[in-house]
Amino acid sequence: MHHQIEGSEAVARAVALCRPEVVCAYPITPQTHIVEGVGALVKKGQLTDCEFINVESEFAALSVAIGASAAGARTYTATASQGLLFMAEAVYNAAGLGLPIVMTIGNRAIGAPINIWNDHSDSMSMRDAGWIQLYAETNQEAVDLHIQAFRLAEELSCPVMVCMDGFILTHAYERIDLPSQQEVDAFLPRFEPVQVLDPAHPYSIGAMVGPEAFTEVRYLAHDKQVQALQLIPEIGQVFSEVFGRASGGLIHEYKSDGAETIVVALGSVNGTIKEVIDVMRGDGLAIGSVSICSFRPFPLDELRDALKSAKRVVVIEKNLAPGLGGVLASNVRMALRGATATVYTVIAGLGGRPILMNSLHDVFIAASEDKLTDVQFLDLNQAVVDLELERARTTRHSGPTAESILRQNAKVGE
Amino acid sequence: MSNTDPKLPYAITLDPGTSLANHTGSWRTFMPVYRDALPPCNNACPAGENIQGWLYHAEEGNYQAAWNVLVQDNPMPAIMGRVCYHPCESACNRKDLDEAVAVHAVERFLGDEALKQGWMPEATHADTGKRVLVVGAGPSGLSAAYHLRRLGHAVTIREAGPMAGGMMRFGIPKYRLPRDILDGEIARIVNFGVTLELNQKVEDIPAAFESEGFDAVFIAVGAHLAKRIDIPAHAAGRILDAASVLHDMETSPEPLQLGRRVIVYGGGNTAMDVARTAKRLGAEEAMIVYRRSRTEMPAHDFEATEAEQEGVLIHWLRTIKHIDETTFTVEKMEIDANGRPQATGEFETLEADTLIMALGQDVDTSFLQSVPGVKIARDGVVDVDEHMMTGYTGLFAGGDMVPSERTVTVAVGHGKKAAHHIDAWLKGQTYVKPAKHPLAAFDKLNTWYYDDAPQLVQPQLDIIRRQTSFDEVIGDLDESTALFEARRCLSCGNCFECDNCYGVCPDNAVKKLGPGKRFEFLYDFCKGCGLCAAECPCGAIDMIPEAS
Amino acid sequence: MTEHPSQSVKFYQTGTHTVGNRLLDETKRTVQASVDRSNAITSGHRACQGCGEALGARYALDSAMRATDGQLVAVNATGCLEVFTTPYPETSWQLPWLHSLFGNAPAVATGVAAAFRVKGRKDVRVIAQGGDGSTTDIGFGCLSGMFERNDDVLYICYDNEAYMNTGVQRSSATPPFARTATTQAIGEAPGNVFGTGKNLPLIAMAHNIPYVATASVADLHDLEYKVTKAMGMRGARYIHILVPCPLGWGSASDATIQVARLAIESGLFPLFEAEHGEVTQVSKIRRRVMAEDYLKVQKRFAHLFRKEGKDVDKIAVVQRMADHNIKRFGLMDEETAQ
Ligand SMILES: Cc1cc2nc3c(=O)[nH]c(=O)nc-3n(C[C@H](O)[C@H](O)[C@H](O)COP(=O)(O)OP(=O)(O)OC[C@H]3O[C@@H](n4cnc5c(N)ncnc54)[C@H](O)[C@@H]3O)c2cc1C
Ligand SMILES: Cc1ncc(C[n+]2csc(CCOP(=O)(O)OP(=O)(O)O)c2C)c(N)n1
Ligand code: SF4
Ligand code: SF4
Ligand SMILES: [Mg+2]
> What are the tens digits of pLDDT across the range B467-515?
888 888 888 888 888 888 898 899 999 999 999 999 999 999 999 999 8
Per-position DSSP letters for C225-244, written without gaps between them: HHHHHHHTS-S-EEEEEE--
Q: Is there a domain that residue C117 lies in? A: yes
User: Do B350 and B383 fall into the same domain?
Assistant: no
Taking the C-alpha atoms of residue C274 and residue B360, their distance in angstroms, rounded to an integer, is 70
- For ligand 1, the distance from its centroid to the CA atom of residue B172, given in whole angstroms, is 9
Which position has the higher pLDDT, A412 or C216? C216
How buried is residue B393: exposed, middle or buried, by Cβ count under 10 Å (0-12/13-18/19+)?
exposed
Q: Report helix, strand and coil shares of chain A as percent, to nearest 5.
A: 45, 20, 35
pLDDT of residue A257: 95
Q: Work out how many CB contacts closer than 8 A connect B with C.
A: 179
Q: Is there a domain that residue B458 lies in? A: no
Q: Is there a domain that residue B470 lies in? A: yes
Taking the C-alpha atoms of residue C326 and residue B37, their distance in angstroms, rounded to an integer, is 40
Angle at which helix B51-59 crosses helix B103-117, to 10 degrees, equals: 70
- For ligand 3, the distance from its centroid to the CA atom of residue C162, given in whole angstroms, is 24
Characterize the bridge pairing of strands A342-347 and A375-377. Answer: parallel
User: Do B111 and B184 fall into the same domain?
Assistant: no
A77 in contact with chain C, both atoms CB, cutoff 8 A: no
Q: Is there a domain that residue C2 lies in? A: no
**H-helix or E-strand containing B225?**
strand B225-226
pLDDT of residue C334: 67
Q: Which residues pair with C126 in a beta bridge?
A: C73, C153
CB-CB neighbors (< 8 A) of C149 in chain A? 53-55
Q: Is there a domain that residue B439 lies in? A: no
Task: Please compute the mean of the pLDDT values over residues C82-100 and round it to a whole number.
Answer: 96
Q: Is A4 in contact with A166 (CB distance < 8 Å)?
A: no
pLDDT of residue B484: 85
A209 in contact with chain C, both atoms CB, cutoff 8 A: yes
How many domains, chain B? 4
pLDDT of residue C8: 34
Q: Work out how many CB contacts closer than 8 A connect A with B.
A: 47
Taking the C-alpha atoms of residue B489 and residue B60, their distance in angstroms, rounded to an integer, is 12
Share of chain B above pLDDT 90, in %: 79
CA distance B109 to chain A (A): 54
Characterize the bridge pairing of strands A75-79 and A22-25. Answer: parallel
Chain B's closest residue to C40, CA to CA, is B17
Q: Is C144 in contact with C206 (CB distance < 8 Å)?
A: no
Per-position DSSP letters for B483-510, written without gaps between them: HHHHHT---TTS-----HHHHH-TT--E
- For ligand 5, the distance from its centroid to the CA atom of residue C265, given in whole angstroms, is 22
Facing residue for B503 by CB, picked from C54, C92, C220: C220
Indicate the SS3 state at residue B153: coil
Facing residue for C12 by CB, picked from B20, B451, B535: B451
How many domains, chain C? 1
**H-helix or E-strand containing B221?**
none
* Residue B69 C-alpha from the chain's centroid: 15
User: Do B238 and B318 fall into the same domain?
Assistant: yes
CB-CB neighbors (< 8 A) of B515 in chain C? 22
**H-helix or E-strand containing A379?**
none
- Going through chain C in order, the beta strands assigned E by DSSP cover 72-76, 97-99, 125-131, 153-159, 211-216, 237-242, 272-275, 278-282, 305-306, 309-310
CATH number at residue B265: 3.50.50.60
| Ligand 2 neighbourhood includes C248 CB (under 6 angstroms) | no
Q: Whose CA is nearest to atom 12 of ligand 1?
A: B407
Q: What is the pLDDT of residues B368-412, one digit of tens each?
A: 988 999 999 888 899 999 999 999 999 999 999 999 999 999 999
Indicate the SS3 state at residue B511: strand
- Closest by CA to B166, choosing from B107, B212, B109, B219, is B219
Record: contact A206-C83, CB cut-off 8 A: no
Q: Is there a domain that residue B157 lies in? A: yes
User: Do B202 and B265 fall into the same domain?
Assistant: no
CA distance C140 to chain A (A): 11
B469 in contact with chain C, both atoms CB, cutoff 8 A: no
Instruction: Count CB neighbours of B514 within 10 A.
Output: 11
Q: What residue numbers bound the domain in which B266 lies?
A: 226-359
Taking the C-alpha atoms of residue B172 and residue B104, their distance in angstroms, rounded to an integer, is 17
Q: Is there a domain that residue B378 lies in? A: yes
Q: Report helix, strand and coil shares of chain B as percent, to nearest 5.
A: 35, 20, 50
| Cα Rg, chain B, nearest whole Å | 29
* Residue C133 C-alpha from the chain's centroid: 13
Q: Mean pLDDT across chain C, nearest whole number?
A: 93
CB-CB neighbors (< 8 A) of C124 in chain A? 199
Facing residue for A60 by CB, picked from C88, C115, C142: C142
- Closest by CA to C64, choosing from C97, C92, C90, is C97
Taking the C-alpha atoms of residue A408 and residue A303, their distance in angstroms, rounded to an integer, is 42
Q: Is there a domain that residue B341 lies in? A: yes
Q: Which residues pair with B350 in a beta bridge?
A: B328
Q: Is there a domain that residue C65 lies in? A: yes
Q: What is the pLDDT of residues A341-397, one digit of tens each?
A: 999 999 999 999 999 999 999 999 999 999 999 999 999 999 999 999 998 899 888
C203 in contact with chain B, both atoms CB, cutoff 8 A: no
Q: Is A81 in contact with A163 (CB distance < 8 Å)?
A: no
CB-CB neighbors (< 8 A) of B496 in chain C? 13-14, 21-22
CA distance A152 to chain C (A): 21
> Which CATH fold would you assign to the domain A251-377?
Rossmann fold (3.40.50)
User: Do B348 and B258 fall into the same domain?
Assistant: yes
| Ligand 3 neighbourhood includes B510 CB (under 6 angstroms) | yes
Task: Give me the interface pTM, i.e. the ipTM.
Answer: 0.95
CB-CB neighbors (< 8 A) of B11 in chain A? 207, 209, 213-214, 216-217
CB-CB neighbors (< 8 A) of B533 in chain C? 254
Facing residue for C118 by CB, picked from A51, A57, A69: A51
User: Do B247 and B314 fall into the same domain?
Assistant: yes
Q: Whose CA is nearest to atom 5 of ligand 4?
A: C47
A217 in contact with chain B, both atoms CB, cutoff 8 A: yes
User: Do B220 and B230 fall into the same domain?
Assistant: no
- Side chain identity at residue C69, one-letter code: D
Angstrom distances, CA of residue B506 to CA of A229, A328, B503, C52? 49, 53, 8, 7
Record: contact C111-A72, CB cut-off 8 A: no
CA distance A230 to chain B (A): 20
Q: Is there a domain that residue C6 lies in? A: no
pTM score, two decimals?
Answer: 0.92
| Ligand 3 neighbourhood includes B267 CB (under 6 angstroms) | no
Domain ranges of chain A: 2-243, 251-377, 382-413
- For ligand 4, the distance from its centroid to the CA atom of residue C245, given in whole angstroms, is 5
What's A113's DSSP letter?
S
Decide if pLDDT at C164 tops 90. yes
Residue C300 pLDDT level (bands cut at 50, 70, 90): very high
CATH number at residue C280: 3.40.50.970
pLDDT of residue A402: 81
Q: Is there a domain that residue B448 lies in? A: no
> Which CATH fold would you assign to the domain A2-243?
Rossmann fold (3.40.50)
Chain A's closest residue to B15, CA to CA, is A203
Residues, CB-to-ion distance under 5 Å, ligand 5: C 131-133, 160, 164
Q: What is the pLDDT of residues B25-50, one digit of tens each?
A: 999 999 999 999 999 999 999 999 99
User: Do B273 and B252 fall into the same domain?
Assistant: yes
Top residue of C46, C78, C81, C88 to mutate, by most chain A CBs within 10 Å, is: C88
Q: What residue numbers bound the domain in which C155 lies?
A: 25-337
User: Do B287 and B388 fall into the same domain?
Assistant: no
Number of H helices, E strands in chain C: 12, 10
Cβ density class B36-59: b for 16+ within 10 Å, e for less: ebbbbbbbbbbbbbbbbbbbbbbb
| Ligand 3 neighbourhood includes B505 CB (under 6 angstroms) | yes
Facing residue for C75 by CB, picked from A54, A57, A67: A67
State which ligand 1 atom lies nearest to the alpha carbon of B200. Answer: 43
Tell me the H-state helices in A53-210.
Answer: 58-70, 81-86, 88-96, 121-125, 139-156, 181-187
Domain boundary pick from B359, B379, B409: B359
User: Do B316 and B291 fall into the same domain?
Assistant: yes
* A2-243 matches A251-377 in fold: yes
Share of chain A above pLDDT 70, in %: 99
Domain boundary pick from B343, B359, B375: B359
Residue to substitute in C86, C158, C164 for testing ligand 4 pocket (most ligand atoms within 8 angstroms of CB): C164
Q: Is there a domain that residue B52 lies in? A: yes
Q: Is there a domain that residue C74 lies in? A: yes
Q: Is there a domain that residue C3 lies in? A: no
